[in-house]
Structure 1
Amino acid sequence: MKLIHKDIEKDNAGQVTLVPEEAEDMWHTYNLLQVGDSLRASTIRKVQTESNTGSVGSSRVRTTLTICVETIDFDSQACQLRVKGTNLEENQYVKTFLLFLHK
């Protein structure tokens, strides 16, 4: 794994930028992440578009998401890391929604 950037404070808060180079690096990332962390990563999303005539098409686009980690799962067979969370930053493909609760 390649360490690109590190900014760790005395209370162990901070951020790191890592680039995985081998499949095993996903295991190490799995052990570094915790629920509540924010994670920024590249992903592929299916985007649906509607033309002026009303026809609907879809395409797959690569986008970057920043999420607040809710669950973390590691698939040892595929060496894949699966992270579930809520989106923290909007982009042209993924919007954030504010939820207001009233008493």
Structure 2
Amino acid sequence: MKLLHKDIEKDNAGQVTLMPEEAEDMWHTYNLLQIGDSLMASTIRKVQTESSTGSVGSSRVRTTLCVCVDTIDFDSQACQLRVKGTNIQENHAQFPHLSS
């Protein structure tokens, strides 16, 4: 896993930006997260639009979610991390410190 950004205060509060490089990195992320943490992640959503003539089109839109973590689950067979929570911020176009 690559550490892209770190801002930790003296009271251990703060934020980090991590980039997983291997499937096992999801296990390490699972062990770092706690209920109540905020998790920001980029995702792609399918958006459907209907024109005035009735034709339906769809496009894929990248959006960023910031979620307050309610539950955390790790699927060891698929090496997938599942996080459930409530969106706590408006969507962002991209991570401000990841644009390069």
The TM tier, using the shorter chain, reads: 0.7 to 0.9
Tell me the TM-score normalized by structure 2.
Answer: 0.79
Moved over 6 A (4+): none
- Structure 1 residues 22-70: Cα deviation after superposition (integer angstroms, max 9, x where no partner): 1000000001011111111111223222222344444443322111111
2:29 counterpart letter in structure 1: T
In the alignment, which residue of structure 2 is the partner of 1:90? 90
1:69 partner SS: strand
2:62 partner SS: strand
CA shift in 2, pair 1:91/1:51, >3 Å: farther
Distance in 2 between residues matched to 1:76 and 1:60, nearest whole Å: 29
Distance in 1 between residues matched to 2:55 and 2:86, nearest whole Å: 30
Q: CA RMSD in A?
A: 1.8
In the alignment, which residue of structure 1 is the partner of 2:52? 52
Aligned residues: 92
Tell me the TM-score normalized by structure 1.
Answer: 0.77
2:50 counterpart letter in structure 1: E
In the alignment, which residue of structure 1 is the partner of 2:42? 42
In the alignment, which residue of structure 2 is the partner of 1:21? 21
Structure 1 unaligned runs (5+)? 93-103
Distance in 2 between residues matched to 1:32 and 1:77, nearest whole Å: 19
Structure 2 unaligned runs (5+)? 93-100
1:26 partner SS: helix
